[in-house]
Structure 1
Amino acid sequence: MSKLNYLTEDGLKKLKEELNHLKTVERPKASQAIADARDKGDLSENAEYDAAKEAQGLLELKISKMEELVQNSRVIDESKIDYSKVQIMTKVKIRNTKNKAEMQYSIVSESEADLKKGKIAVNTPIAKGLLGKTVGEKTIVQAPAGNMEFEILEISPMT
């Protein structure tokens, strides 16, 4: 059995829209590219045909993986989230105890992560180190750059 993927309602909607785009727009484009390349003659020496077939295979793999992701997705009921501790679907403000730098992250599923928007995946080292912690607690996070100590300053709903 595949692992469950927890999403916001908006995250699931975006995933379904992307899957629909791949099926209704990209799949016909890939088929047309194969047909166009096939019309150019001898397939045994047609690099364009080979490339189009490979692109179609990659597209079908992506569609298959996204279908599985949608099938195994569960929408999180945000009204039942306990904001007294860090968990998926919470926003957390932290301070690096060494350099006093403050950061704010939203803990989200892997498919919704976007570091530019401050959304980190629940399976990242920082998120793993913060999960279950409460305001005022300190935690050591094992990051690629080495161990870092953070203090939890605030936990709030994602907005």
Structure 2
Amino acid sequence: MDKVPMTVQGHKALSAEFEHRTSNERRRIIDAIAEARAHGDLSENAEYSAAKEQQSLNEGRIKELETLLALADIIDVTKLSGSTVKFGATVTFIDEDTEEEKTYQVVGDPEADASAGRISISSPLSRAMIGKEEGDSFEVAAPGGSKSYEIVKIRYI
């Protein structure tokens, strides 16, 4: 499989989630299953079924996190520089129609969270910005039609 690019902070967050799920969540779910078992007949025990489903979801996420962490290509953004947009760049741009200013950091897929100002390197917005410089305009195909933006500032922090 290919390496998964991610920032140092993204790797720390995934590692912390892995630690929490393997240490705390696993123990809590096992306790919930044991308590539900104590209630008797498992065939009609909703608490037992819910706890087993939680266990399945938690174990699935643990496997996913193990894979992501094993394939992680950790990139220290503070050591990057340049005048063009690439992985790790924090880009401020303006919507040319509404004059609304937005700032996003280009990060790896596992750590993307648009509401927290982080967009995936594989998102249409990031792909349209890659290689552009301050002052450049770019277009993104959106459901309501094409949107035009102008890059105001590029930082590597």
TM-score by length of 2: 0.90
In structure 2, distance between residues paired with 1:55 and 1:99: 44
Identify the residue that residue 38 of structure 2 maps to in structure 1: 39
Question: Number of paired residues?
Answer: 157
Structure 1 residue 71 displacement after superposition: 0.8
In structure 2, distance between residues paired with 1:150 and 1:19: 37
TM-score by length of 1: 0.89
In structure 1, distance between residues paired with 2:54 and 2:11: 26
Alignment of structure 1 residues 119-158 onto 2, 5 Å: 119-158=118-157
1:110 aligns with 2:113: no
Structure 1 residue 118 displacement after superposition: 2.0
Deviations 1:15-44 (A, max 9, x none): 111101100000011111111111111122
In structure 2, distance between residues paired with 1:55 and 1:78: 36
User: 1:96 touches 1:148 (CA, 8 Å); kept in 2?
Assistant: yes
Q: Secondary structure at the match of 1:140?
A: strand
Q: Secondary structure at the match of 2:138?
A: strand
RMSD: 1.7
User: 1:83 touches 1:90 (CA, 8 Å); kept in 2?
Assistant: no
In structure 1, distance between residues paired with 2:60 and 2:50: 15
Identify the residue that residue 24 of structure 2 maps to in structure 1: 25
- Which ranges of 4 or more aligned residues in structure 1 deviate by more than 4 Å? none
Give the percent of matched residue pairs that are identical in Structure 1 and Structure 2.
Answer: 37
Larger displacement relative to structure 2 (131-140 or 94-103) = 94-103
In structure 1, distance between residues paired with 2:78 and 2:48: 52
User: Residue type of the partner of 1:15?
Assistant: L
Structure 1 residue 123 displacement after superposition: 2.0
Structure 1 residue 80 displacement after superposition: 5.2
Identify the residue that residue 92 of structure 1 maps to in structure 2: 91
Larger displacement relative to structure 2 (121-130 or 57-66) = 121-130
User: 1:85 touches 1:135 (CA, 8 Å); kept in 2?
Assistant: yes
Structure 2 residues not aligned, in runs of 5+? none
Comparing both chains, which one has the higher relative contact order based on Cα–Cα distances under 8 Å and sequence gaps of 6 or more? 2
